[in-house]
């Protein structure tokens, strides 16, 4: 099998056994990127020359000694809102087009300690605000399954790169579904860990109480493998949880789901769900039952309020976080300005795209005097009720299963003129972020048009092992994860 088609665990096994060198790995991926990247456009920045030099140095250093760290020599891609020392971090925005960070994000530093190989930074919706990667200042990425369709967002570039075999795995960030939705659209696995499980230090903030970094991989085993490396407490992140990190690979040992209670919320199978998605997820639930799981219908009654709550809270936090981009400290600075106020206004007008401006204005509005209590305060109260719904549900079940998205991937431009319809693309993922819970999206079928369909598994806080076990058992009993797109 070609090197670029191997999973992370398969490639790591071959490398540690000395069957393939780091230089051979990078050459294989550089060739693959050269073949498909002009069509997929997953990357904002490529560093394959630096990767080749690093791989050759790594091979010289090893000199046949193969007792390596888990990610040594593994070629990964990083979403372009995670800081990488010496490599541009643009957030797919003109505001940061030439910004080169002087430090690594904590997750990147952990990968670097393991001698991973960076292939490049992947495209995203500007400042992670979007569901299609169409909001990037550098143009949209495309879905490898159908180049006329979106790969999802905001981590669309990372998901597209993994699906097109342009990297062995990637990191993304998830604020309201930005790992799971593109993973579902591209037929790969996307894991959003519990809020606080993975450090956010060095992640350019969108909504600080919702953002979380996680892996996008070819299969569930790879997701557990990568989470083992990036999870853990970080004193540089005040929201990082100081809790022991289990060995997630051990959670995959059990092949069945006996004694696992799986909840199916009726609210997620209501009107508006695409028939192909409904059929695929229903069949997946039946497969979970065949694996020994106890299936139980549950209720999450505040699901309908989640989108409204999210877009009040997320935009409010975005308004605050993006205030730092003012043309003074770093990033873009407008020229020929009359005074400081003119500098602020012109810099933000030139530097931000339409969607970012829309969210900043909405967030500023809900935080303004006279509206704070009516909107922001009320949204925080409803967020508490959403959390309580999950608390009640998890008294009865261990895992909750839902569709990852209401439809398969939609066409480029199809929803770009209707922000509300675009926002509803994340309707099944948003409530998980509001509650800070772990969730995983994995392939569970194909539409009649041949597009991937994703299933979402949600677990209790800090119980990633449970959803990984359930996802892996399902994956081993089916073949959806081995189906790959042909990039034409």
List the catalytic residue out of 92, 136, 155, 178. 178
Integer Cα distance of 48 and 121 in angstroms: 11
- On whether the CB atoms of residues 427 and 462 are closer than 8 A, the answer is no
List the catalytic residue out of 136, 141, 154, 319. 154
238 annotated active-site = no
List the catalytic residue out of 7, 41, 79, 136. 79
HEC letters along the chain: CCHHHCCHHHHHHHHHCCCCCHHHHHHHHHHHHHHHHHHHCCEEEECHHHHHHHHHHHHHHHCCCCCCCCCCCCEEEEECCECECCECCCCCCHHHCCCCCCCCCHHHHHHHHCCCEEEEEECCCHHHCCCCCCCCCCCCCCECCECCECCCCCCHHHHHHHHCCCCCEEEEEECCCCCHHHHHHHCCEEEECCCCCECCCCECCCCCCCCEEEEEECCHHHHHHHHHHHECCCCCCCCCCCCCCCCHHHHHCCCCCCCCEEEEEHHHHCCCCCHHHHHHHHHHHHHHHHCCCEEEEECCCCHHHHHHHHHHHHHHHHHHHHHHCCCCCCCCCCCCCCCHHHHHHHHHHHHCCHHHHHHHHHHHHHHCCCCHHHHHHHHHHHHHHHHHHHHHHCCCCCEEEEECCCCCCCECCCCCCCHHHHHHHHCCCHHHHHHCCCEEEEEEEECCCCCEEEEEEEECCCCHHHHHHHHHHHHHHCCHHHCCCCCC
425 annotated active-site = no
178 annotated active-site = yes
Q: Which residues are catalytic?
A: 79, 154, 178
């Amino acid at each position: 099998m070609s090197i670029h088609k191997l999973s992370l665990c398969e490639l790591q096994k071959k490398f540690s056994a000395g069957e393939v060198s780091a230089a051979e790995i990078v050459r294989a991926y550089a060739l693959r990127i050269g073949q498909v990247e002009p069509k997929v456009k997953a990357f904002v920045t490529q560093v394959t020359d630096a990767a080749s030099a690093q791989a050759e140095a790594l091979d010289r250093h090893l000199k046949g000694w193969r007792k390596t760290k888990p990610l040594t020599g593994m070629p990964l891609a990083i979403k372009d809102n995670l800081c990488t020392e010496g490599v541009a971090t643009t957030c797919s925005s003109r505001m940061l087009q030439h910004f080169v960070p002087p430090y690594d994000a904590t997750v990147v530093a952990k990968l670097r300690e393991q001698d991973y190989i960076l292939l490049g930074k992947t495209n995203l919706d500007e400042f992670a605000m979007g569901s299609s990667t169409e909001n990037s200042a550098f143009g949209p990425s495309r879905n490898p399954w159908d180049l006329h369709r979106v790969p999802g967002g905001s981590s669309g570039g990372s998901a597209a790169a993994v699906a097109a075999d342009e990297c062995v795995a990637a990191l993304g960030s998830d604020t309201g579904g930005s790992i799971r939705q593109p993973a579902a659209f591209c037929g790969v696995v996307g894991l959003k860990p519990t809020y606080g499980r993975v450090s956010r230090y060095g992640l350019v903030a969108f909504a600080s109480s919702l953002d979380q970094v996680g892996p996008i991989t070819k299969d569930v085993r790879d997701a557990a493998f990568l989470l083992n490396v990036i999870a853990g407490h970080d004193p540089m992140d005040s929201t990082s949880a100081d809790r022991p990190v289990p060995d997630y690979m051990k959670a995959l040992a059990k092949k069945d789901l006996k004694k696992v209670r799986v909840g199916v919320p009726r609210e997620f199978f209501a009107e508006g769900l695409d028939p192909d998605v409904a059929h695929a997820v229903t069949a997946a639930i039946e497969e979970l039952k065949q694996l020994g799981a106890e299936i139980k219908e549950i209720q999450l009654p505040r699901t309908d309020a989640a989108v409204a709550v999210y877009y009040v809270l997320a935009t409010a936090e975005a308004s605050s976080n993006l205030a730092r981009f003012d043309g003074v400290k770093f990033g873009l600075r407008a020229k020929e300005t009359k005074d400081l106020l003119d500098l602020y206004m012109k810099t933000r007008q030139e530097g931000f795209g339409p969607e970012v401006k829309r969210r900043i204005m909405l967030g500023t509005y809900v935080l303004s005097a006279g509206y704070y209590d009516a909107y922001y305060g009320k949204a925080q109260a409803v967020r508490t009720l959403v959390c309580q719904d999950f608390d009640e549900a998890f008294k009865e079940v261990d895992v909750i299963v839902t569709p990852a998205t209401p439809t398969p991937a939609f066409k480029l431009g199809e929803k770009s003129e209707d922000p509300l319809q675009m926002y509803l693309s994340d309707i099944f993922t948003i409530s998980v972020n509001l509650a800070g819970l772990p969730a995983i999206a994995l392939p569970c079928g194909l539409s009649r048009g041949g597009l991937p369909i994703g299933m979402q598994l949600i677990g209790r806080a800090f119980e990633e092992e449970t959803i990984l076990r359930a996802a892996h058992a399902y994956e081993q009993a089916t073949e959806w994860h081995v189906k790959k797109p042909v990039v034409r």
